Chains A and B, each alone.
Chain A
Amino acid sequence: MATFLDAVLAFLFKYRPALFAQGRLAWRPPVAPEWIALALLLAAALVVFTYARAGRARPRDRMLLATLRLGILALVGFALLRPTLLLSTVVPQQNYLGILIDDSRSMRIADADGRARGEQAAAAFSDPSSALARALAESFQLRYFRFADRARRADPAEAHGFDGAATRVAPALEAVRAELGSLPLSGLLLVSDGADNAAAGLSETLLSLRAAGIPVFTVGVGAERFQRDIELSRVGVPRSALRGSALVVDLMIAQNGYAGREVPVQVEDGGRLIAAETVKLPRDGEPSAVRVHFTLEEPGARRLRFRIPPQDGELIAENNQQEAVILVRGAREKILYFEGEPRWELKYLRRAVAQDSSLQVVALQRTADNKFLRLDVDSAGELYGGFPQTREELFAYRALVLGSVEASFFTHDQLQMIADFVAERGGGLLLLGGRAAFAEGGYAGTPVAEVLPVTLGNSRDTTFFAELEVRPTRAGLAHAALRVADSAPDTERRWATLPPLTTVNRVGRVKPGATTLLNGSGEGVSQPVLAFHRYGRGLALALAVQDTWLWQMHADMPLEDQTHERLWRQLLRWLVSDVPERVVASTAADHAAPGEPVHITAVVADERYLRVNDGRVVAEVTTPLGESLEVPLDWSLTSDGEYRGSFTPAEPGLHEIRVHAAREDVEHASAPTYVQVSESSAEFYGAQRRTPLLKRIAEETGGRYYDASALGTLHEDLAHTGRGVTIQEERELWDMPIVLVLALVMLAGEWVYRRRRALA
């Protein structure tokens, strides 16, 4: 549409609007303008005099006819003044033009009128037989560059590789500007699909180009929308997980041309297929999240690949997969379960997780004042004095389950310590319902109440009791911890048939930011049964029923039913899943390309989980070939306990990074993280032509954007940028067709009007 409008305007005004924008208007009258003005005035006076005389015509008719005549006179005057467009035109071969051709892998995509994008770009600009290339070469000194993640000078005859692993427009423009900045430069020509995958912003570069007066003309290649393609654009995988945990991973799928088709999503662990689910593809152009479920049984760093097999006629096969590295923890995670009284919950919870080799539930049960039963402790001294008195003792556990034990059992320091266990140590806390739990246990107003995801009332109602049907919310149905059957429909059916449980705790509202996973209703009561939120570094859960053991023992539960076991295993695994160690090592991404720096961050704390700023922290990097290098990490100065460093991997493969933290030369903790080094396939994701980005570059620098299939005016526009060595060119405008058209319109209008009004 815009092109059609441009063509019409170019016809009427003799030149394209772009030339008017580049030039300026001047008048070149053949005689002194005063004479022309005098002649026009006389003629105008004659017109006014003629039409002012009374005749048959009404005053309104006369006014209109006089105006039309005066209009024609004005057009004649305009033409007599000889309007002229002054254009700065480059002096041939005196100016330079930088041509940047995208050399990244996305240019291999064959969506440019049946050709690869790169081929189209090369044919237009690098091929000596191209008319455009020849024309440009006649006007300018051409300087060719190729760019992907950086720009380099290139001979136009040199064959394109189109093998850059990333597209970074801003540094490329900066580099070319630095190289050509001292020359008379007419502008830069950027030929690309605009599929920039740089993290850094472009604004500063554009601003400096604008300030330097260097216009960037952009040429977009490729399709803005693929006809047939499926893209697995994102995968949300935790960096670590417990061995045997049921993982739920969200995948983002976008597609065109396959709406409604059912395709398999496969999960591979080191090349071995571990899960496959069939998903229905979303509507064209609408990204949609799908979930896959799988379990990782082998400890260590696992390289996962999620993929959708390429479909018939798909444009890009490379974007059908995503890779991720996940650390599967094999050690037993210690959970302290403190129960204030003998309760069936303790027995059946312990039984539910007894077979789980990743969980160690240390039970501490108060049987009388200062008398405790300890189960599954590691040593005779563990919990000998009852509930931990010190942070070191409590923080050795990764999660804490509090049963029916009144708040007054604890000292204020212990209550604060429990809150700190979640907020600072990052542990998981699960508060179970019971006669001495929640508000009924006197927790209102204590530091523990702050941590909970639900509000507590102040009353301690010792008579409250309700039998509740427990059902998952939408969030609950989607949550991995509540997936009590193998498939989502089976899970929903199972929840619908579980026997009711009882509660003795009135639970208030769920706090802002917390999520309800289970609701209970019955006997006129409706309240959350399971809610959670993140609190500080940790996770807090409230399970406000007192007898989940009925899901094991109720007569309606078949002996072989595993709902109770599965639920508790998953709940406790969730509780410990993201609990930080004393050293938490991470990298900015779990993938890097060879030669690309890997930035390591480590957060270091002592035994009490207080951040350490004066430690000696070293990352020991083990390459895939088994070589080892030490990377010292320095305190970041900005954040307590945070240390940073980086290294540049050279070889592809999985690199293990083990961060060792020492104080006074004694190592007190270490933690691993992993980074997979491989050639990036980022170029094939989001690889559609990004016209808005290319337009923005052109508009903000004073250049123009062109579609690769419509480059007809490019040469002319480049010739009139006004930059570099130029001469002034004058182009007459008096003979613009618009002048003649307007004159004819007015004459015809007068004639028609007279006929209609019978004035002829």
Chain B
Amino acid sequence: MRLLLVLLSALATLGLRGHAAVSVSPPARGPALAATAANGERPRGFTFARAEYSGTQGWRRGAWATDYPKADLQFITVARRLLPTLDIYGAEHTVRFDEPSLRRFPFVYAVEVAHMELSEAEVAGLRDYLLAGGFLFVDDFWGTAEWAAFERQIRRVLPDRPIEDLPQDHPVFRTYYDIARIHQVPSIDNICRRGRTWERDGYEPAVRGISDDAGRLMVLISWNSDLGDAWEWAEQPCYPLELSTFAFQLGLNAIVYAMSR
């Protein structure tokens, strides 16, 4: 209940301002530092960075920007309330896998990853990033075809590491919130217009992961689920609170996990 009140108050203050409300100060210390220091503030300890990957051609060009930036901004606002000790940068931020500043953002969120078509430079950049200790959280792709498309791309990055379903006692489900059940988080269209949570043949949600040799997650995969839409539309009365709550909880758990292990 307390979480509900916090969520509603956070979203009420944010409204639908969008990203125009926050501007980025001109670069002074190189792009990476300047990008996370808004309006003369000093750079923050954590930046919610979204991956701006190369995508397939056609109508889905720019799939990386799905729900962007509203989902990011609402997530940041809620994170400030729910994870008050986190020194989080208040604006959205994007980063490419093939740019050196990627390594300054050890947590990166990527959506619609079935539409990734990574260049060789992006593959190499992402591999180095993950092997050095970076953390990739992927979300919002549905069904077996999209899984196959994603797997094809991630196999180019990490060819030999297994992708495993994370058991319910995995630390990522307990590191901040105790998450007892994995929900299917639907897009707003599906839940508010069609009254369903699934898309394509993605009926069962899954949280999977790729870990390093010490068992620490490098890639966290939310499949058959769309956390980003829940963050973006949590203030809508038609969006189920239980599901948006789960979406925020898993997002925050992923951050605390990525920042401690």
Contact = CB atoms under 8 A, between A and B. Distances in A.
Contacts of A354: 214
A260 B33 CA distance: 51
Given A341-B85, A354-B214, A347 B102 contact: no
Given A342-B256, A344-B259, A350-B260, A504 B100 contact: no
Interface centre among A354, A504, A553 (most CB of B within 10 A): A553
B165 interface: no
A557 B100 CA distance: 11
Given A467-B29, A554-B104, A559 B128 contact: yes
A365 interface: yes
Contacts of B176: 367, 373
A559 B132 contact: yes
Interface in A457-496: 463-465, 467
A366 interface: yes
Interface in A367-390: 367-369, 373, 375
B103 A554 contact: yes
Given A342-B260, A344-B45, A373-B176, A366 B85 contact: yes
Given A463-B42, A555-B101, A351 B260 contact: no
Contacts of A441: none
Nearest to A354: B214
Contacts of B104: 550, 553-555
A373 B260 contact: yes
B132 A557 contact: yes
Contacts of A435: 45, 87
A342 B106 contact: no
Contacts of B101: 555
A139 interface: no
Interface string A560-588: 00000000000000000000000000000
Given A369-B84, A550-B104, A465 B43 contact: yes
Contacts of A363: 260
A342 B46 contact: yes
A348 interface: yes
A502 interface: yes
A347 B133 contact: yes
A368 B259 contact: no
Contact of A553 (B37, B132, B214, B256): B132
A373 B134 contact: no
B182 interface: no
A549 B135 CA distance: 14
A731 interface: no
Nearest to A434: B45
Contact of A367 (B40, B45, B102, B256): B256
Interface residues of A, number: 38
B153 to A, nearest CB: 21
Given A367-B176, A555-B101, A347 B33 contact: no
Contact of B42 (A343, A365, A464, A549): A464
A545 to B, nearest CB: 13
A633 interface: no
Given A344-B259, A553-B103, A555-B101, A368 B42 contact: no
Contacts of A368: 82-85
Nearest to A561: B132
Given A342-B256, A373-B260, A559-B128, A553 B85 contact: no
B131 A559 contact: yes
Contacts of B116: none
Contacts of B255: 342
Nearest to A462: B42
A173 B25 CA distance: 86
A346 B87 contact: no
Given A369-B84, A553-B133, A375 B100 contact: no
Contacts of A523: 29
B86 A341 contact: yes
Given A435-B45, A467-B29, A347 B85 contact: no
Interface in A159-204: none
A555 B260 contact: no
By size class, the interface of chain B is 35 or more
Contact of A375 (B37, B41, B133, B260): B260
Contacts of B175: 373
B29 A343 contact: no
Contacts of B106: 344, 347, 549, 553
A56 to B, nearest CB: 107
A502 B37 CA distance: 13
Contacts of A546: 45
Contacts of B37: 465
B261 interface: yes
Given A347-B258, A350-B261, A555-B103, A502 B43 contact: yes
Interface in B93-140: 100-104, 106, 128, 131-134
Interface string B61-94: 0000000000000000000001111110000000
A351 B256 contact: no
A250 to B, nearest CB: 37
A515 interface: no
A346 B103 contact: no
Interface string A522-551: 010000000000000000000000100110
Contact of A552 (B84, B133, B261): B133
Contacts of A367: 83, 85-86, 176, 256
Contacts of A520: none
A516 B73 CA distance: 43
A340 interface: yes
Contacts of B102: 555
A354 B133 CA distance: 13
Contacts of B83: 342, 367-368
Contacts of A553: 103-104, 106, 132-134
Nearest to B256: A342
A375 B176 CA distance: 12
Interface string A491-509: 0000000000010100000
B37 to A, nearest CB: 8
A467 B255 CA distance: 25
A758 to B, nearest CB: 102
B85 A552 contact: no
A566 B42 CA distance: 30
B43 A347 contact: no
Contacts of B33: 467, 502
Contacts of A463: 40-42
A342 B88 CA distance: 10
A465 B42 contact: yes
Contacts of B85: 340-342, 366-368
Contact of A504 (B29, B40, B42, B259): B42
B84 A555 contact: no
B178 to A, nearest CB: 12
Interface string B166-178: 0000000001100
Nearest to B85: A341
Nearest to A504: B42
Nearest to A346: B260
Contacts of A342: 45-46, 83, 85-86, 255-256, 259-260
26 contacts: A340-B85, A342-B83, A342-B85, A342-B260, A346-B260, A347-B133, A347-B258, A350-B260, A351-B216, A354-B214, A366-B85, A367-B86, A368-B84, A369-B84, A435-B87, A467-B33, A502-B33, A502-B43, A523-B29, A546-B45, A552-B132, A553-B104, A553-B133, A554-B103, A555-B100, A555-B102
Counting from the closest, the 6 A-B pairs by CB-CB distance are A555-B100, A465-B42, A341-B85, A342-B259, A553-B103, A555-B103
